[in-house]
Amino acid sequence: MATVVPLAEAVAELVRDGDSVAMEGFTHLIPYAAGHEIIRQGRRDLTLIRMTPDLVYDQLIGMGCARRLVFSWGGNPGVGSLHRFRDAVQNRWPAPLEIEEHSHAGIANAYVAGASGLPFAVLRGYRGTDLPSRTANIRPITCPFTGEELTAVPAINPDVAIVHAQRADRSGNVQLWGITGVQKEAVLAARRSLVTVEEIVEELEPRPGAVVLPGWAITRVSAAPGGSHPSYSAGYSVRDNAFYQAWDEISRDRETFLAWMGDHVLDRSATASEAGR
Amino acid sequence: MSTTGTGPDTGPMGAGAPGAAAGAGTGAAGTDATRAEVCVVACAEAWRGDGEILAAAMGTCSILGARLARLTFEPGLLTTDGGALLTAEPVPIGAPAGPVEGWMPFRDHLWLVQNGRRHVMMGASQIDRYGNTNISAVGDWARPKSQLLGVRGAPGNTICNPTSYWIPRHSTRVFVPRVDVVSGVGHDRAAELGGRASRFHGLRRVVTDLGVFDFGTPDGSMRLVSVHPGVEVEQVVAATGFDLVIDGDVPQTRWPTDGELRLIRERLDPKGLRDTEVRP
């Protein structure tokens, strides 16, 4: 059963140097508060996994937490590039970043394989592209029934999956809704998991279309109201589009980026007030 | 499935007589249309004949094209709010979904991709004569000069779905002899894979700010289908870093009809975002 603990305690316990960490979320419910806590705790050499890395991974990469990124698209949604990500790949600042590039479906299906306890996922895509030449993690496989040559990718079983959701009850059962990405797949595939939530409630009311992650499949739950800012949590907050645009400028220059991270993430008193907005 | 130019999407463009208003309903041709508006209609034509499939679009003119096609000659298309919602009616670009016809969270979207009932119009940072495309990295892949956004859905899209491309700025930086990383599969690579792997591969058309292109050639290399009004063939050739197939006289891309122009200007894009993507 998941236990409900403060965020700093959950991150200290679950995320270790060198871990593979999948912080999922799609359009909304992106676990910024947890990402910032990882940065504050100074984790290093992480393998970051996510289908669609955005600003929180840009921040983790720029702060030197990551050694490797497994992804299918990395950008500032609706704005452009991730400058810290690009600087790491192109100029190895602040540290070299290895990348393992997949298609969206490749990552999603690799999580499903991981959650299913299977060693690999099968796809029709990848063939004909240059991706298989770049990683040993994309390999041909022959269908035993039809003889068709397909592609296999190994299951992803992150050391830790971290997602943000709207609600949890005191037993650690989690409910999330709105546009869903592959949060469920990532949590079920992971060895350990942390879910940050907008609020802890006495009882979860059923909602059509909501995803429920049972407490027995989760390690820790932490309350982090506003913890998806600048993305949003449907029903709780709206997307801070101005911040995504501002990030383009903040992140373009190394010094400006470091100063911003110092003021807004590393300084805990500042973050406490930010969370309230 | 033959997708190299004999499909239903080549008809209207092939007709190509200037101002013919081919197949787009009523009204005289809107010869006061901006280049962006011509591009929107040329993008819309990519989905002609597709029926009840998801029209997935990236880029302003492409998104407007999908919604315009649904409002005019291709009413069965499924279109989105730009996110995960299937809208009951095509909505203005950037507007909330309004009444929702269905949900398309990521897992379901990926199932749809693998099922193939989706025609996607993507962007490309580089494209070669066979339609291999790159959205991954420019330069040496191990240490790129420019790390791009990543291959996203391209490896699956191009092998599982009909695929078109919308390229708002046609130049030799994009139209290159050889792409640095193949993230979307072109005709030469699909042919190498053989029938079983390439049976769902289908590059329909490429629309740029200068013209319309397809792959209706014996070896599946890119052909100039039409040039937009005001564009010379030589201009297209000069902006393309490989030899295009050019069959005889190249027709002009059709003008939008008055009805289409009204839909674009008054209903789908009243703020004129299209003109920021392709400048008048």
Cβ pair B183:A81 closer than 8 A: no
CB A100, CB A48: distance < 8 Å: no
What is the predicted pLDDT for the residue at B16?
A: 33
What is the predicted pLDDT for the residue at B22?
A: 41
Does A118 score more than 60 pLDDT? yes
Mean pLDDT of A220-234: 97
Cβ pair A73:B183 closer than 8 A: no
- A50: nearest CA in chain B? B152
C-alpha distances out from residue A249 to A245, A254, B157, Å: 8, 11, 33
Its sign, for the CA torsion A153, A95, A251, A56, is: positive
Cβ pair A73:B150 closer than 8 A: yes
Which pLDDT band, with edges at 50, 70 and 90, does B1 fall under? very low
Does A172 score more than 50 pLDDT? yes
Higher confidence at residue A164 or residue A271? A164
3-state secondary structure of B264: helix
What is the predicted pLDDT for the residue at B28?
A: 56
Which pLDDT band, with edges at 50, 70 and 90, does B18 fall under? very low
B155 touches chain A (CB under 8 A): yes
What is the predicted pLDDT for the residue at B142?
A: 83
Higher confidence at residue B159 or residue B198? B159
Burial class (CB in 10 A: 0-12, 13-18, 19+), B27: middle
Cβ pair A27:B83 closer than 8 A: yes
Mean pLDDT of A169-176: 95
Domain of A194?
Answer: 3-102+157-266
Which pLDDT band, with edges at 50, 70 and 90, does A270 fall under? low
How many CB pairs below 8 Å do chains A and B form together?
Answer: 130
- B59: nearest CA in chain A? A78
Among residues B168, B177, B51, B84, the alpha carbon closest in space to that of B121 is found at B168
Cβ pair B153:A127 closer than 8 A: no
How many structural domains comprise chain A?
1
The distance of B133 to chain A (nearest Cα, Å) reads 9
**pTM score, whole prediction:** 0.84
Size of chain B in residues: 280
Cα distance between residue A25 and residue A108, in whole Å: 12
Mean pLDDT of B14-33: 50
Q: Which of A52-56, A221-225, A272-276, B73-77 has the lowest mean pLDDT?
A: A272-276
Which of B114, B184, B193 shows the shortest C-beta gap to A105? B114
Among residues B32, B102, B37, the alpha carbon closest in space to that of B65 is found at B37
Mean pLDDT of B49-72: 96
What is the predicted pLDDT for the residue at B39?
A: 98
C-alpha distances out from residue A27 to A53, A231, A232, Å: 11, 7, 8
- B193: nearest CA in chain A? A128
φ, ψ for residue A190, nearest 5 deg: -85, 155
Cα angle, residue A83 at apex, residues A79 and A89 outer, rounded to 5°:
135
Domain of residue A223, CATH code: 3.40.1080.10
A117, part of any domain: no
C-alpha distances out from residue B261 to A242, B19, B28, B94, B209, Å: 32, 13, 11, 19, 17
Cα distance between residue A186 and residue A163, in whole Å: 9
Cβ pair A101:B159 closer than 8 A: no
Q: Which CATH class is domain B35-277?
A: alpha beta
Mean pLDDT of A164-193: 95
Quick one: how far is CA A45 from the chain centroid? Answer: 16
Query: Where in chain B does DSSP place strands (E)?
Result: 54-57, 85-87, 100-103, 118-122, 126-127, 133-134, 137-138, 146-147, 162-167, 202-208, 211-214, 223-227
Chain B hits for A148, CB-CB cut-off 8 Å, are 196-197
A227, part of any domain: yes
Cβ pair B147:A71 closer than 8 A: no
**Mean pLDDT over each residue of chain B, to the nearest integer:** 88
Interface test with B, best of A48, A104, A111, A179 (most B CBs within 10 A): A104
Q: Would the ipTM clear 0.85, i.e. be above it?
A: no
A141, part of any domain: no
**Mean pLDDT over each residue of chain A, to the nearest integer:** 94
Among residues B247, B235, B238, the alpha carbon closest in space to that of B35 is found at B235
What is the predicted pLDDT for the residue at A159?
A: 98
Cα distance between residue A212 and residue A230, in whole Å: 24
- B103: nearest CA in chain A? A179
Chain A hits for B181, CB-CB cut-off 8 Å, are 130
Percent of chain A with pLDDT over 70: 97
Q: Which of A56-70, A75-89, B196-210 has the lowest mean pLDDT?
A: B196-210
